[in-house]
Structure 1
Amino acid sequence: MTTPGQEGDPFADAMREAVGTSVEAWRLMMAVADAVRRYQQRKKDREADLPPAEEAVNEVASTVRTLVPPDISAALMGGADWPRMAQQMAALRRAGVDLDGILPRMAEVAVTVRDSVAENAARVSREGTGEWERLLRETLPAGPVREAILSSPTWPDIAATMARLDERGVDVRGILASAHNEGVGVDRAVARVLGANAAPAASRDAMLSYGPLTTSLDAPKDLDLSDRARALRQLAISPAENERYGRWVQEAMPGREQEAGLLLAARQWPLVAARMAKMESEGKPVREHLTRLMKDTSWEQGASSQLGVRLVVAANEALRRVPWEGAGSGSRVNAAAARSRSTSMDPTERRAVAKGAAPAEALVAPHRPESAPASNRKKTR
């Protein structure tokens, strides 16, 4: 008869797999914490290198043995990547993070994962990092933690870890939520040491975009539309998704390649892409909505210098409306004039658009019927 620790014992094998998976979860949380530390230090040009491996191991080994359950701590410290994890922990401590506070919480998550794997069979196939970027957008709020993950050089490794955990029946969303909470703590702790503001005030781009463009979207307060790659990361839009949404716009505007290009090159295009991503995740017919861009071309009216701005407004309106909603004479909207009144536009731009707006018909005040025909009016004395 084999004993519970021997090779070939199904119970022992299952427990080894469960503990191994809990170590994977630990790696994920530690990678997130380290990414946040680096991100916060990098913003101040004070990113610190990891301490020497041997020095880090000596510094944190006893802490790990004390605060982490024996089976998980033994698996952690027996792994080939233990020196690097020790370096990450030591770097966090030196950056101002309280390991005595964070490690027990990470241990709780690892124990939950261990027990979950022991009870569930792995059966979900991985689909690549695109799936995990969508999961991040749906699970984590916009902010420094989400951006730190997506901008980290180790993001592909983080996504691969998430896929392995998911294959084994682990609740990846739950782990991410826990990792996010710890990441916020790391962000604040490192910010205090660096004298940085961990909760930045709303950026100019965020304030100017506030309104119809950001309604119901998870837009960060420090939105930076001057850096397209960063803006897409902040909104959790992968390069593949951005390319796909751009292709959908071009397909929705046949023969209008120049105008489609202006929309895609517009400063606020990432917000349009974010709305498309949100709709896609909700199962809404994004491409059907985009057909409104050619059914209602009021965006053509106005100064040519502001055409890209009007197209952004028109695309956002097309996405927010039901695709079969008509654009009759009573509901036709002059995009330039509407944009000139928008709170999401720079006052200087608003004045420029207002000057260039030449509506084909008088605008009707919202929620107010047009004047009745003269024949129906009562005569006055």
Structure 2
Amino acid sequence: MVTPGHEGDPLVDATREAVSTAVEAWRLMMAVADAVRRHQQRRRGGVEEDLPPAGEAATDIASTVRDLVPDDIAVALMGGADWPQMAQQTAALRRAGVDLGVFLPQLAEVAVTVRDAVAENAIRISRDGTGEWERMLRETLPAGPVREAILSSPTWPDIAATMARLNADGIDVRQILASAHNEGVGLDQAVARVLGAESAPATSRDATLSYGPLTTGLDLPRDLDLSDRARAMRQLAISPVENERYGRWVQEAMFGREREAGLLLAARQWPLLATRMAEMEREGKPVRDHLDRLLADTSWEQGSSARLSARLVQATHNALRRPLEEVDSSRAAVDTAAARSQSASVDPAKRRSAAKSPASAEPAIAAHRAVGQAPARGRGK
């Protein structure tokens, strides 16, 4: 992964996006190389050889990648959730007779070219003031080769400027992007068939439906299965200890709203939120401070009870993604004492007592932040 920098620093953000795009290009090239290897094996003997064990391959290939690939790209590759699979593919190529001393530097050259192109585009976009269109592209199109090819194209700054002009003319740019992506996917699949990559796993329904704002910047497996919570957590590299910790943080942030916290933790999309928290932890961001917003703004209560779980998921995503210094001036400060006085989990006598007490003039804070009420458990990042 890229070394974390200051939140919102344009240069750091541009560097992170450039390396991320270079890694996507690397994944695409490795997928093509692996498909060619499998095709050759089928032609020779009709049976594909098994890949070497993931743990063994990851350890064996790591030093070779560090020696032959630029540091920033190598670190990002080995920090990805799919690194064990890529290590297996690389080890299988070497076993098939590929000289990694020649092959990996060739891949690295392409990845560096992509990285530098994206970085240069980011500088121009920052200068021209069209950065918001890159965010829209990432929110509208799923992560993958199609989106990254657009962002690494030399014409991307011109595309962004065109999007700005269309938007100014009242055109729904998101709809145009969605339609263009559907066409691009068809083209991508046609090329994959020509290259003999038809054996690559198809994108699952859960992965397809998850692409968008909820997963912007996250590395989703193509066969994501949210119907199996344990499997989804393994696919997203979230350990049981991490999952328990994030669940506890949610319960602490929603003190007094145990029912709603339970709905959030039981939501089908919870693994995606846990993945977002894990990513924030790796970047050194204060996850719990972000979660405190769930009681500071309870607009998620508004609407039908049938959609409450979905609103909680969206509210949690918004709380995690918005910078802490961003203040929503349209929302009045929440009197948490008064709010908790209405909670069904509070004793009726205490509820009446709280209702009679004047609202505190102090800024509202979550109960687990109050002096003397901190939970006994140790706090993580």
TM range (shorter): 0.3 to 0.5
Which of structures 1 and 2 has the bigger CA Rg?
1
TM-score, normalised by the number of residues in structure 1: 0.40
TM-score, normalised by the number of residues in structure 2: 0.40
